[in-house]
Amino acid sequence: MEDVKRPWEKLISLMKGNQAEQLNEYLKSMKTEDIVLSISRLDKEKQLQLLTLLSPEDAAELLEDIPEYHAADIMEDMEADKAAAIFNELDSDNQADLLTEMEEEEAEAILSQMEPEEAESARRLIKYDPDTAGGMMITEFLSFDEHHTVGHVVRELRENAHEYEGYNLQYIYVTRQGRLEGVLQMRDLLLSTTETHLDKIVHPDVISVKDTATLRELINFVNDYDFYGAPVTNDEGVLVGVVLRRDILDAKSEKANIELLETQGIVGGEELRTMPVLLRSRRRLSWLSVNILLNILAASVIAFHQDVLSSVIALAVFLPIISDMSGCSGNQAVAVSLRELSLGVIRPFEVVRVWLQEFSVGILNGLVLGVLIGLVAFLWKGSLVLSFIVGGALMLNTIVAVSIGGTIPLILRRFGTDPALASGPILTTITDMFGFFLTLTFASLALSQFGGI
Q: Are residues 386 and 335 located together in one domain of the fold?
A: yes
Domain that holds residue 199: 143-263
pLDDT score of 370: 95
Give the pLDDT band of residue 2 (cuts 50, 70, 90).
very low
Residue 133: inside a domain, yes or no?
Answer: no
CA torsion sign for 192, 193, 194, 197 is negative
Give the pLDDT band of residue 262 (cuts 50, 70, 90).
low
Give the pLDDT band of residue 314 (cuts 50, 70, 90).
confident
Q: Are residues 14 and 160 located together in one domain of the fold?
A: no
Segment among 136-150, 192-206, 251-265 with least mean pLDDT: 251-265
> Measured between alpha carbons, how far is residue 397 from residues 51, 212, 322, 361 in Å?
57, 43, 8, 13
Residue 192: inside a domain, yes or no?
Answer: yes
- pLDDT at residue 373 is higher than 70: yes
Tally the domains of the chain: 3
- pLDDT at residue 270 is higher than 70: no
pLDDT score of 267: 55
Mark which of 95, 127, 159 sits at the end of a domain. Answer: 127
Tens digit of pLDDT for each residue in 335-344? 888 888 876 7
Q: Are residues 289 and 415 located together in one domain of the fold?
A: yes
pLDDT score of 263: 59
- pLDDT at residue 283 is higher than 80: no
Give the pLDDT band of residue 1 (cuts 50, 70, 90).
very low
Q: Are residues 175 and 61 located together in one domain of the fold?
A: no
- pLDDT at residue 170 is higher than 90: no
Q: How far apart are CA 385 and CA 438, in angstroms?
A: 14
Q: Residues of the chain with pLDDT > 90: what percent?
A: 48
Q: Residues of the chain with pLDDT > 70: what percent?
A: 91
Q: Are residues 169 and 308 located together in one domain of the fold?
A: no
Tens digit of pLDDT for each residue in 79-103? 999 999 999 999 898 999 999 989 9
Residue 176: inside a domain, yes or no?
Answer: yes
Rg of the chain taking only CA atoms, in angstroms:
30
DSSP 8-state symbol, 200? G
Q: Are residues 436 and 299 located together in one domain of the fold?
A: yes
Mean pLDDT of 371-383: 92
Highest mean pLDDT of the ranges 213-222, 298-307, 310-319? 213-222
Q: Are residues 358 and 238 located together in one domain of the fold?
A: no
Listed residue (354, 340, 365, 341) closest to 404, CA to CA: 354
| 3 state DSSP class of 134 | helix
Neighbour count for residue 75 (Cβ, 10 Å): 26
- pLDDT at residue 414 is higher than 50: yes
409-427 burial code (b ≥16 CB/10 A, e <16): bbbbbeeeeebbbbbbbbb
CATH number for the domain spanning 209: value is: 3.10.580.10
Residue 177: inside a domain, yes or no?
Answer: yes
Neighbour count for residue 142 (Cβ, 10 Å): 19
Give the pLDDT band of residue 288 (cuts 50, 70, 90).
low
- pLDDT at residue 273 is higher than 90: no
Dihedral in degrees, nearest 10, Cα atoms 429, 432, 435, 438: -60
Mean pLDDT of 312-327: 88
Q: Are residues 294 and 424 located together in one domain of the fold?
A: yes
Tens digit of pLDDT for each residue in 115-150? 999 999 999 999 999 889 999 999 889 899 999 999
Pairing of strands 229-233, 239-244: antiparallel
Q: Are residues 28 and 97 located together in one domain of the fold?
A: yes
Listed residue (167, 97, 104, 157) closest to 130, CA to CA: 97
Q: Are residues 81 and 183 located together in one domain of the fold?
A: no
pLDDT score of 32: 86
Higher-confidence residue: 295 or 49?
49
Give the pLDDT band of residue 301 (cuts 50, 70, 90).
confident
Q: Are residues 281 and 258 located together in one domain of the fold?
A: no
Residue 137: inside a domain, yes or no?
Answer: no
Write down the mean pLDDT value for the chain: 86
CATH number for the domain spanning 431: value is: 1.10.357.20
Higher-confidence residue: 78 or 415?
78
- pLDDT at residue 308 is higher than 70: yes
Q: How far apart are CA 412 and CA 263, in angstroms?
A: 14
Give the largest Cα separation in the chain, rounded.
102
Mark which of 220, 238, 263 sits at the end of a domain. Answer: 263
DSSP per-residue string spanning 389-412: HHHHHHHHHHHHHHHHHHHHHHHH
Q: How far apart are CA 142 and CA 242, in angstroms?
A: 10
Highest mean pLDDT of the ranges 11-25, 156-170, 298-312? 11-25
- pLDDT at residue 322 is higher than 60: yes
pLDDT score of 271: 57
